[in-house]
Each structure stands twice: as structure tokens, then as C-alpha cells.
Amino acid sequence: MTAATSDDTYTFDNGAPDAVPQMQALESFLDPITMRRLSRPVLQAGASCWEVGAGGGSMARRIARAVGDDGHVLATDIDPTHLVAEGNLHVRQHDVRTEAPPQDAFDLIHARLLLLHLPDRRRVLRTLVGALAPGGWLVVEEFDCTATPRVLTAPTDDAAKLFALVLDTMMGVLQEHGADLGWAQDVHTEMALAGLTDVDTITHSQSWAGGSTGASLYETNSRQLEPDLLAAGLSANQLNAFRRLVRDPGFAVMSYHFVSTRGRLPGPDGR
């Protein structure tokens, strides 16, 4: 995922030094959840699929294996630095905000942690719907960031308050860059309004212990957003203490709420 902002800069840039550990942490947490959401009848052998904002490419590779040699997967990103074409997996640089869909009809389109960062997210969602084949599925997955993740255990009350302060500041930075922190809650409605059927939504969250791969996501995010966080009033000492905290085995926090919504374009018979 490369996250575009309202001023055409990037909140989470694939070329940033912390991009790889960030993507690896996300993949470790989210890929198993996503694959369950893509199980039959959503993803079938021989399908033509589009992975939008493919980031590190882990989901594109998983989908390519699932559709088999008769299937086709196109992975696109505005910065395809970390994407590698192989076999039935093809890679293309593409900006979903400004460029037409790369082909007319996909059996599956998947976008994860992308649309919440785009100010014109509703228009982009309708563009994705328009690129579905009859009977094709759109799966959109986002973090619901409307509430600060709950601290479960912390070395001190002050440490818990520091975590909340940094996360609240981080969310403010994302909003300033055009993110809609509650977009995940709107996707189901927007899919239905766009004419999709069989729309359903699940929400997943789990505890992350200090030092775990999941908790490392908070640290990498703080590093990528550091200039903005400092400009918003946090100090370097606070950020360093925050990073030590999320590595502390005595610390535990809930993950962000991950919301997965899928819907199907009716076939020619209207079903």
C-alpha cells in the first residue's frame, strides 16, 4: 500500500526506509484474514483478478497461486518498487485515482488499506465496481481508526497515557493528509449504493504484546510519520519512549479494528 494524500504527497511511502518492515507486519497480521474472506465462491480457479495498491505483493502472490495457471492476477501500485512479476502474476504501475482501470472486467478486485487514504475514495470505489465482470466480487478492507486502540497492560499509567497521546496525534496527522478514519464503517453502505449484492462485513481485532510483529507496526508508523508528529507538538523524547514501550514484553494493546467488506456485481440475469 502506498497511501496518497490530498496534496499528492504520501503518508506511507513504499520507498521509505521503514516501508518494508511496515508491509511485513501488515502482511503477517492481515493476509490470513484476507485469504479467509477470499475463499470460494469469491476466489475461484481460472479467475481474472486485480490487486489494487499491492504494496509488497504478498496478497497478489497468494491470489496468483489460488487461481492457478489458467487464472490471471494484475498487481498495481503507484510505486511498484516491491512487486515482482512471475508466472500468472503481472505488475503494472498505476494510479487508481487518475487512470482508467487496466482492463474491462475482473472476477475479483481487492483493495486493502488504500481507499481510506484517498480524499475521493467514494468515486474510486465506484470505479472499481465498474471494472467488475458480471458476478465478480469487490473486497475492500480497511482499519477503523475512530477509536484509539485499548491498552491492556502497561508498565505504568503514564506509559499508557503516552501511548494514547502518540496514537491520537498520529491519527490527527493522517486526517490532515486527507484520511477518513471512519471510512471502514461506510464501505458496506457504499457498496450497496453502488449496486453490489451479497454485501457482508466482518471486523477483526486481537491483542498485540510488546515486541510482537503486530506491535512493531505502531513503531514503524511512528518513524514514517516522525516529521509530522514532531510538527504536531510531540518531542523526540516522547517518540523514543513510545518506541521502547511497544517493544516492552510487559506492554499489551489491542490491534486496530480491521474491517473487511465484500460485495458481488449481479450477473446478466440480475442474480
Tens of pLDDT, residue by residue over 135-174, are: 999 999 999 999 999 999 999 999 999 999 999 999 999 9
Of the pLDDT bands very low, low, confident and very high (cuts 50, 70, 90), residue 25 is confident
What is the Cα 244 distance to its own chain's centre? 25
- What pLDDT score does 271 carry? 76
Report how far residue 146's alpha carbon sits from residue 162's, in angstroms, rounded to the nearest whole number.
Answer: 18
Residue type present at position 93: Q
Report how far residue 195's alpha carbon sits from residue 265's, in angstroms, rounded to the nearest whole number.
Answer: 7
Domains recognised in the chain with CATH numbers: 1-145+181-206+256-271 (3.40.50.150), 147-179+207-254 (no CATH)
- What pLDDT score does 3 carry? 44
Residue 246 has pLDDT above 80, yes or no: yes
Report how far residue 129's alpha carbon sits from residue 196's, in angstroms, rounded to the nearest whole number.
Answer: 8
Q: What is the pLDDT of residues 48-59, one digit of tens each?
A: 999 999 999 999
Q: Give yes or no for a contact between 136 and 109, defined as CB atoms under 8 angstroms apart.
A: yes
Stretch among 7-11, 46-50, 130-134, 181-185 having the lowest mean pLDDT: 7-11
> To the nearest whole percent, how much of the chain has pLDDT over 70?
93
Q: What is the pLDDT of residues 88-144, one digit of tens each?
A: 999 999 999 999 999 889 999 999 999 999 999 999 999 999 999 999 999 999 999
What does the block give as the cell for 38?
477470499
- What pLDDT score does 103 carry? 86
